[in-house]
Amino acid sequence: MKEIILVKYGEIALKGLNKSTFEDMLQKNIKRRLKKLGTFGFYRRQSTIYITPPEEADIDEVINRLQKIFGISAIQRCAVFPKDFSVIAEHAPEYLREALEGAKTFKVESKRSDKAFPMKTPEIQQELGAVILDAFPHIGVDVHEPEVTVRLEIRDNGAYLSALRIPGAGGMPVGSSGKSLLMLSGGIDSPVAGYMMAKRGLIVDCIHYVSPPYTSERARMKVEALCEKLTDWCGNIVFYCVPFTELQEALRDNCPEELFTVLMRRFMMRIAERVARRTRCQALVTGESIGQVASQTMDGLTCTNAVCSLPVFRPLIGFDKTEIMDYAERIGTYETSILPYEDCCTIFTPRHPQTKPRVDQLEQSETLLDGEALIERALTGIEVVDIRP
Ligand code: ATP
Ligand code: MG
């Protein structure tokens, strides 16, 4: 039986945006994600994209991928029949079995855009309803709140029958809101922050700081693995790996120990902002959540924020750790995040970090080193990797 897939994108994202730009972007993202599964046909109409898979396509895998593409509100699998009601009636029960076997109530909804089709809409609904009641005697009709809605569309090029509507990932197509740079650690939080911003239509590139030999190659590979997981949701990611050892050693050797963490975070922000500006990213993203650790107090955040003039998005700011962990599991990053490798944030940590740092105090400490030269050398040593799904 030939199947096609309908992708619905509703009205959510259409308000501020030119509709066709939005649709083009969504379709492009879908094409890119399905490319390796074969050559698909695309056709758009009424806030729906009709996707025709090639013969050999694994439809379950297609659906699996579509469920991770932002901008899609629902996905519907349809069987394609010739426009002959007796043929439809003969095969419908078999096709609908999975959806109807366990359900108590259903209704039939029909649309007939091909006006040459001999039956009118109410008649189609009645007749197909009767076929279903015949084949599944346990089920009843409920036109108001059915458990399953069976849809039959009579279109110019065939009749489409469906019952399964799978929820999509929601949000806006990646790329429709601009580009951001995510500060990605190996932890649980920052990948979730990246997912959230991609969901709102941002391209998410990633920057990661490493301090060899204090941090290992395996720790870096773990972060690249996280990036790969994120590509399921974010699409292509440019990964910037920044050598941070010299800066951290300079901070350790020259500045007050209790300010080490906030000073380090200010340098991370400065470097990220420069990379963002050079690569046309319009915002930074972090996985910070208020009060989670010493550097994420109000004063800590104020001090890190003070060195940066691009907007900094912190989508997890009001989330509890347990909520973030639930998200991480759901989006598939948790298992990788909990691998026990070191991060540059966990080396040289002060015994008693200052929880109420002040900007003037930090600026004073920063005069004790040549920050500008250190930043320049870190920027020169950046490695760039293209990460694709
Ligand atoms: P995460 O789980 O994301 O590591 P965290 O709770 O461990 O967060 P911190 O280690 O204080 O918190 O880091 C706060 C934020 O700083 C992270 O969410 C991330 O955005 C950024 N960050 C931390 N370490 C790095 C790193 N090595 N490279 C890039 N960004 C980092
Ligand atoms: Mg961390």
Q: What sign has the CA pseudo-torsion 95, 101, 103, 105?
A: positive
- Tell me the two tokens of residue 43: 């056709």
CA atoms of 41 and 52, how far apart (whole Å): 5
| CA distances for 292 relative to 86, 259, 287, 322, angstroms | 64, 17, 10, 12
The list of the chain residues with pLDDT below 50 reads none
Q: What is the pLDDT of residue 13?
A: 54
pLDDT in tens, 300-358: 999 999 999 999 999 999 999 999 999 999 999 999 999 988 888 888 999 988 888 99
CA atoms of 224 and 234, how far apart (whole Å): 14
Q: How many CA atoms lie within 13 A of 224 on its CB side?
A: 16
* Cβ neighbourhood burial of 168 (10 Å; 0-12, 13-18, 19+): buried
CA atoms of 182 and 203, how far apart (whole Å): 10
Q: What is the pLDDT of residue 14?
A: 61
Which of 21, 16, 162 has its CA nearest to residue 80? 162
Q: What is the pLDDT of residue 11?
A: 64
b/e code 250-289 from CB counts within 10 Å (16+ = b): bbeeebeeebbbbbbbbbbbbbbbebbeeeebebbbbbbb
CA 243 to chain centre: 28
Q: What is the pLDDT of residue 254?
A: 96
Ligand 1, atom nearest to 316 Cα: 18
Q: Ligand 1 centroid vs 283 CA: distance in angstroms?
A: 16
Out of 180, 182, 188, 189, mutate this one to test ligand 1's pocket (max ligand atoms within 8 Å of CB): namely 189
* Shortest-distance Cα residue to atom 28 of ligand 1: 208
What pTM value is reported for the model?
Answer: 0.92
pLDDT in tens, 245-296: 999 999 999 999 999 999 999 999 999 999 999 999 999 999 999 987 777 8
| Helix segments in 255-387, DSSP class H | 260-278, 298-305, 321-331, 334-337, 359-366, 371-380
Which of 139, 191, 195 has its CA nearest to residue 163? 139
- Please tell me the number of the ligand nearest to residue 343's CA: 1
Q: What is the pLDDT of residue 114?
A: 86
Q: What is the pLDDT of residue 308?
A: 97
- Which residues have any ligand 1 atom within 6 Å of their CB? 183-185, 187-190, 207-209, 286-288, 292-293, 295, 343-345
* Shortest-distance Cα residue to atom 30 of ligand 1: 183
- Please tell me the number of the ligand nearest to residue 247's CA: 1
Ligand 1, atom nearest to 293 Cα: 11
Out of 182, 190, 205, 264, mutate this one to test ligand 1's pocket (max ligand atoms within 8 Å of CB): namely 190
Q: Are 338 and 188 in contact (CB under 8 A)?
A: yes
320, amino acid identity: D
CA atoms of 203 and 265, how far apart (whole Å): 23
Ligand 1, atom nearest to 289 Cα: 6
- Tell me the two tokens of residue 39: 């050559």
CA atoms of 311 and 196, how far apart (whole Å): 16
Q: Ligand 2 centroid vs 387 CA: distance in angstroms?
A: 21
CA atoms of 366 and 352, how far apart (whole Å): 19
